[in-house]
Structure 1
């Protein structure tokens, strides 16, 4: 079928509708990481913490390296001063501080000749001074830093100290810094994720509670957490909004009920008058007006059911022959073809079930046209009764999907209530209603009801009555 009026949904609107649909799983399905507030908070926390940690670590390492450098220089200068003092004051123990495997000393006379050397530099003794103005020189595979002092009348004292320990310490500090810069952001991100999960657990629970709300079923207030924080304020605001929505729905239902009530009496009089005029005059125009009055009567019944809501409706259970239901529908929607097993019995509310099936048949007749066919097939299994309504129309628009069962989603000039009311009635009976396109063309609606499963003593009927012809109250509805 081709709808004449239906909601236009943009991609953003579709996403918003999906998020606002009860049970759509805003938070029941895990939010993608790139859309997660928890991830953004953890990432921000990690980035800021990593930057701060990097600055602090750089400062600490720089201070540590400078202290190590200063200690090395002080040690070298202290050794040089001690040796120079020994050369200046020959009674000060000359040579005692210049021994050992790490002692690097040279005594250079004013002519530039090495006149004394420590054991590690014995190769340079009695030869020209080899290092010139260099302060760092390689000696036997070791980098040695050196300073010079005046050695009294002997000339110049050259004192060196190996930098191996200092270089190793510097490399260790830089390696630790690099490791910290690589691992710290990951550790901080994981820690931030865990902290964010704990901190936002209340907000996630509030979102899950709000996501499970179904305004069509209940608008009960959400439970408040014991802790007075932003989450509690959010839930208080949601509860306040729910209260306003519930009050607005009550006013709308009351207004709708009053409108339907005011229309009911005039429509009943009009319908009776047109029926008498049709019988007396046999005028096609009067017959057409009588059909319009019938359609308006059915529409008011659908509006009344919508105003009452599913929870306010009570089913009057009866066990009726399926043939009785078929006769009713044949009178309400002439031209329907009935197939299947109509010799069985049905445990139902006859008026409500007639209303649901009449809506499906009228919907099919509207879209099949005067020359089309509408078929109602009944099949029974031990578990359920299955009513299948098929028409020869163009079929259901695939882009509407389940929206065809929402109120006021309409096509072909109807009120858009028929399918919504029919599904509501089916579910009130413990069954369901679904719609699809038949492989051979046309729309196919399947309404299922639980099987009666009657025992020999009739106990399974509970309070239901077995009637051959229960009274028929006005029923009705329209298609999409």
Structure 2
């Protein structure tokens, strides 16, 4: 029973680069460890927090300074009022002399003209009947208590000294400064969290659009991005991106159409020229004619690569056939003379012979170009229950290390070729449900490994489907 064609494999996903720790990430995206530093949401929250903190510091400092100055002014007014009241009582009738010592916590002293304390409140009894010790000091320490003092003349009695403890004022000042310090410590954290949350909600539409845009496959139709309901800056940005996507898709369509027309016009003449040169070479055996025939072969395959690039993978359908591997080997031997074939060529292959020949011929032609006329090119085939593996190796200088995976991009070449062969070969491998990888061999030269599912696996899948 001839195996039925299998459905096309999905397009190969965009290549990813390993991030820190081996994690894969899409090109151009920040790594997981650095995502928060590259987040617009974080930068907005940080800027908002810094500006808010600066404003809070200025406003809070102004409020605290004003509050403390008002408290200090009220304390001074209270002290002056008390001193004026006692001085008026003493000078008025002289009967208020005893009031200077009223109350256990009163700080008053009456000093005669000779500087001798003649009366003192109970808490200042140690200074009674002794020389006045404080001079003109406005703030003194008495029994571990800071006292602010003023003096008033009381006529013939001398001078009245009145003090008021600052303990309550100092405690209030320390409480205000502590509250300000606590606010300056915790407010930035709170503002940063609030700013992060607000930024997340405000930029959720933009983040969703960025996720969708990252999933766009440029090889397929460029669908437009959904627009948010609110017409804000995000809406205008996404609208501009959608218009850009439409222009890109239109430009790609025009380029593909033009490329397809050029290839179509070149294809027929090249086919005739190739056949004519091949017959002439077989008939005459002329080396120049044989060389021209090889150039015609090269141009023919280049036009095939260009045609596949113009059509795109989705527009190409494979013609599945089950062929002996030796048939594929004979075709490749004629196309790329001088190739050494090793491995298990007695197996069968389920493939599109033309497309798989094109893919392997591109790899062998690149290898021959890199190895030169005196170098070696080998194609090894191995079979496992899961897949067939074609390994192309050459004795050339190897792949440029600076290109990496870009060697498979269209029109990127490190060997002087058109740069289409590797891209087309990988595309054909993906269409067969396989892969194509390239690297430098440890013993020198380049090595490309193309895998396709084995025919035995295809038979099992077909039986399960039935």
The corresponding residue for 1:410 is: 413
Tell me the SS of whatever aligns to 2:455: coil
1:264-299 deviation line (CA, Å, top 9, x unaligned) = 111122222223322333322222212211111111
User: What is residue 399 of structure 1 aligned with on the other side?
Assistant: 402
Separation in 1 of the partners of 2:461 and 2:186?
75
Which residue of 2 is the match for residue 18 of structure 1? none
CA–CA distance in structure 2, aligned partners of residues 224 and 169 of structure 1: 56
Q: Against the structure 1 CA distance between its residues 443 and 126, is the aligned structure 2 distance closer, same or farther, given a 3 Å change threshold?
A: closer
Which of 76, 100, 103 in structure 1 is aligned with 2:103? 100
- Which residue of the other structure, out of 57, 60, 63, is the alignment partner of 1:57? 60
1:45, distance to aligned residue in structure 2 (A): 2.1
Segments of structure 1 that go 5 or more residues without pairing to the other structure are 1-13, 15-21, 464-480
User: Are residues 411 and 81 of structure 1, via their aligned partners in 2, closer, same or farther at CA, if it must alter by over 3 Å?
Assistant: closer
**Residues 266 and 72 of structure 1: CA distance in aligned 2, closer, same or farther (over 3 Å):** same
The number of residues matched between the two structures is 443
Please point out which of 334, 344, 359 is paired with 1:341.
Answer: 344
For the residues of structure 1 that align with 2:225 and 2:299, how far apart are their CA atoms? 40
Match of 2:385 among 382, 386, 396: 382
Alignment of 1:143-182 (within 5 A): 143-151=146-154, 153-182=156-185
Gaps of 5+ in 2: 1-16, 18-24
Give me the whole-angstrom Cα distance separating, in 2, the residues matched to 1:457 and 1:431: 17
Q: Does 1:205 align with 2:208?
A: yes
Partner of 2:14: none
- Separation of aligned partners in 2, 1:112 and 1:436: 103
Question: What does residue 224 of structure 1 align with?
Answer: 227
Q: Check if 1:445 corresponds to 2:445.
A: no
Is 1:42 the counterpart of 2:41? The answer is no
Deviation at 1:179, TM superposition (A): 3.5
Mark the CA change 1:30 to 1:212 in structure 2 (over 3 Å): closer, same or farther. farther
Quote the Cα distance in structure 2 between the aligned partners of 1:113 and 1:411.
107
In 2, the alpha carbon distance for the partners of 1:246 and 1:148 equals 92
Which is worse superposed, 361-370 or 377-386? 361-370
Structure 2 equivalent of residue 427 of structure 1: 430
Report how far residue 119 of structure 1 moved. 0.9
Distance 1:304-1:462 versus aligned 2 partners, 3 A rule: farther
Q: Decide whether aligned partners of structure 1 residues 99 and 223 sit closer, same or farther in structure 2, where only a CA change above 3 A counts.
A: same
SS at match of 1:453: helix
Per the alignment, residue 251 of structure 1 pairs with 254
State the alpha-carbon separation in 1 of the partners of residues 35 and 307 from structure 2.
43
Given the alignment of the two structures, is residue 360 of structure 1 paired with residue 363 of structure 2, yes or no?
yes
Residue 82 (structure 1) aligned with residue 85 (structure 2)? yes
State the 1:254 CA deviation. 0.5
Q: Structure 1 CA distance, aligned partners of 2:149 and 2:333?
A: 116
Q: TM-score, normalised to structure 1's length?
A: 0.84
* In structure 2, distance between residues paired with 1:284 and 1:462: 54
1:109 and 1:276 map into 2 onto residues whose CA distance is 141
* Deviation (angstroms), 1:127: 2.9
Q: Deviations over 1:229-273 (max 9, x none)?
A: 111211111111111111111111100110011111111222222
Q: Distance between the aligned counterparts of 1:138 and 1:455, measured in 2?
A: 100
The structure whose RCO (Cα within 8 Å, separation 6+) is larger is: 1
Between the aligned partners of 1:75 and 1:92, the Cα distance in structure 2 is 23
RMSD: 2.7
Matched-pair contact (CA < 8 Å) for 2:105–2:122 = no
Kindly provide the CA deviation profile for residues 409-451 of structure 1, in whole angstroms up to 9, marking residues without a partner as x. 2244422211111110001111010111222222211000112
Structure 1 CA distance for aligned equivalents of residues 461 and 83 of structure 2 = 117
Distance in 1 (alpha carbons) for counterparts of 2:382 and 2:173? 87
Instruction: State the alpha-carbon separation in 2 of the partners of residues 412 and 358 from structure 1.
Output: 16
Change (3 A) 1:118 1:219: same
* CA–CA distance in structure 2, aligned partners of residues 136 and 170 of structure 1: 17
Q: After the TM superposition, which of the residue ranges 337-346 and 87-96 deviates more from structure 2?
A: 87-96
Q: Deviations over 1:190-246 (max 9, x none)?
A: 443443333333333333332333312341111222222111211111111111111
For normalisation by structure 2, the TM-score amounts to 0.87
SS of 2:370's partner is helix
Map 1:235-250; keep pairs closer than 5 Å: 235-250=238-253
Q: Bigger CA drift: 346-355 or 109-118? A: 109-118
